[in-house]
Structure 1
Amino acid sequence: MEVFIIAAVVGVGVGILSGLLGIGGGVIMVPLFRLGFGLEAIAATATSLFTIIPTSVSGMVKHARNKTSVPKIGAVCGLFGACLSPVGVWAANISPDWLIMAVAAVIIAYSAVTMLSKAIKSPKRAGGSKKGHADGPGKNEEHLSTEEVPERAFVASFRFTPALIAKTAAIGIFAGFMSGYVGVGGGFVMVPLFISLLGVPMKLASGTSLTAVCILAVPGVIEQALLGNVDFAIGIAMAVGSIPGAVVGANLVKRIPERTLRIFFACFLAVVAVVLVLNEVGVLA
């Protein structure tokens, strides 16, 4: 019972970050399950992947109601990602524990660097520029901060072209494999790529990412469950807290200054990555 309560309380925090940043929460849950709950590496990634689905669905629904997502991008990305998620699970099951955790640490560190870089480059004032920009993706979005691209104008003008479909599919394929392999939803891969490759505004990238996560994680979870790698008790306990937490996080998207949050969370992720590596090499054992 004590473990259940702890997992549920921690899940609230995971859910808030999931809904706010567009992640499934795996970059937090994998090290937590590994270091805090003592699960084996494969069980940590499998249980994380299981918990990601209800967490992401909760955040996705709230983002859809708030109109802070682009569902068709998320759907295409998720469908292609779903094809590679089982391949990632297969690779994880034939990999040694240290390799899975090493890849997880690299993904977390990459996420930290990406978030910190975006935070440093973004304007200090949360409101950003008031200039409008009604052009579709691919027209100088890289020269604008995410706050300078009106979300409604982007949604209204966005149209899939063969090139954009190819980019979206490539993002999904990469995110899907990493999702199955290290037990993350792939949001920390997709969000920065949505922004840089597709020109999606940050406030839409989070909700769009959760749409993709809901789809691409499903095949991996089914495979991990059939292999007996999922710790359902801990996963369900975490989901009890993460589901309402994701709703809160989705509501906070337009209220919390992105720059401050990204700097704080990037530092947190960097520490998690270091601790994870030190634990695997036996320094913290």
Structure 2
Amino acid sequence: MDPLIVLFGLGVGVLVGMTGIGGGSLMAPLLILGAGVQPVVAIGTDLAYGAITKTVGGWRHLRAGTVDMGLSIWLAVGSVPGSLVGVYALDRLHDTYGEDFDPILLTLVASMLLVVALAILFRALFLTKLIARERDTVELSRGTKALAIGIGAAIGVLLGLTSVGSGALIGLALILIFHMTPHRVVGTDVFHAAVLLWVAGLAHFASGNVDLVLTANILAGSIPGVWFGTWLMQRVPANGLRPVLGCVLLGSALAVMSKAGVDVPVAAIVGIPLAVGLFAAIVYRVRPPAPQPTREAVAPA
């Protein structure tokens, strides 16, 4: 039993339970930087532990009624086969080129996460009138289903390659494209990720990229962490959860940059999102209350 790995699992588990984000974007860099795990093994182990962790969170969100089951299914139609393509591509590229392709790919992913984080924070803090467009349920038209499949497929490939995307990128799509309320974003995101990560994790296990002892250490912290985080999410106001989502994405971007080889101190990965969160808290205290979303279904923009 490694107390440091258990602590990593606990902290990331709380974030996953509260926001649906952080498992793949934070745990793999923590394993590489904090425990010296080989990147390919870190990615495979990350996905394997994440499957179990998010199953716990997904079950709790399902019971709490924060899951849009229809949208989750159509996202999985694209993301499950996409993740298998990503795992296969990772194995082929690793066998052919070694680790030379990793920094470029991860830098692109980190840049995308950074842009996404800034966009969500700007929207949450300065475009509050748009919050009134958020809805609890998405109307599943033919176009909506096709869009969900396409988004799921693209993110599934990225997930299989890097372990990043099951929370951060799907959560972004649920917010910006499908206009879902924050609590439904988290519930739907975690539930869908549980299905996706089982497939990708088993594929990595079959490829020999999963360390079972390391997985057990992470789970010792992450299972109680995600349980507590899910409980805590039900007691956090929606207006407070929006900047939290953005701050976690910002931390994810910095962590992935570090994984890609950029010199980003651990203090910055933690401190910058906390500083932005403090700024967000000040903004929320001095501005008028945001309009509340209605409860009618709406198709994506």
Q: How many residues align?
A: 256
1:272 to 251, 255, 258: 255
Contact 1:112 1:265 survives alignment (8 Å): no
Instruction: Indicate the residue corresponding to 2:77 in structure 1.
Output: 79
Instruction: Indicate the residue corresponding to 1:132 in structure 2.
Output: none
Distance apart, 1:149 and its partner CA: 4.8
Q: Give identity over the alignment, percent.
A: 23
Change beyond 3 A, Cα 1:243–1:109: farther
Provide the secondary structure at the position in 2 that maps to 1:122.
Answer: helix
2:120 to 108, 118, 121: 118
Are residue 144 (structure 1) and residue 130 (structure 2) matched?
yes
Q: Structure 1: 5+ residue runs without aligned partners?
A: 129-142, 281-285
Distance apart, 1:144 and its partner CA: 2.0
Instruction: Indicate the residue corresponding to 2:275 in structure 1.
Output: none
Provide the secondary structure at the position in 2 that maps to 1:242.
Answer: helix
Instruction: Indicate the residue corresponding to 2:4 in structure 1.
Output: 6
1:171 to 134, 140, 151: 151
Instruction: Indicate the residue corresponding to 1:108 in structure 2.
Output: 110
Distance apart, 1:258 and its partner CA: 2.6
Distance apart, 1:185 and its partner CA: 5.0
Are residue 248 (structure 1) and residue 228 (structure 2) matched?
yes
Change beyond 3 A, Cα 1:172–1:150: closer
Distance apart, 1:263 and its partner CA: 5.3
Change beyond 3 A, Cα 1:99–1:111: same
Provide the secondary structure at the position in 2 that maps to 1:88.
Answer: helix
Are residue 162 (structure 1) and residue 173 (structure 2) matched?
no
Instruction: Indicate the residue corresponding to 1:194 in structure 2.
Output: 174
Change beyond 3 A, Cα 1:216–1:279: same
Amino acid aligned to 1:113: V
Amino acid aligned to 2:83: S
Q: What is the TM-score normalised by the length of structure 1?
A: 0.81
- In 1, distance between residues paired with 2:121 and 2:227? 24
Change beyond 3 A, Cα 1:165–1:259: closer
Distance apart, 1:57 and its partner CA: 0.8
After superposition, give the CA deviation of every residue in 1:159-203 in whole Å (9 maximum; x if it has no partner). Answer: 311001001111111121111111235221111112222222222
Change beyond 3 A, Cα 1:101–1:75: farther
Deviates more, 1:106-115 or 1:222-231: 106-115
- Report the aligned-residue RMSD: 2.4
Provide the secondary structure at the position in 2 that maps to 1:230.
Answer: coil
Q: What is the TM-score normalised by the length of structure 2?
A: 0.77
Amino acid aligned to 2:159: S
Amino acid aligned to 2:76: G
How is 1:1-40 mapped onto 2 (pairs within 5 angstroms)?
1=1, 3=2, 5-23=3-21, 25-40=23-38
2:187 to 207, 210, 230: 207
- In 1, distance between residues paired with 2:242 and 2:177? 21
- In 1, distance between residues paired with 2:108 and 2:83? 18
Provide the secondary structure at the position in 2 that maps to 1:198.
Answer: coil
Instruction: Indicate the residue corresponding to 1:220 in structure 2.
Output: 200
Change beyond 3 A, Cα 1:98–1:16: farther
Contact 2:182 2:241 survives alignment (8 Å): no
Instruction: Indicate the residue corresponding to 2:288 in structure 1.
Output: none
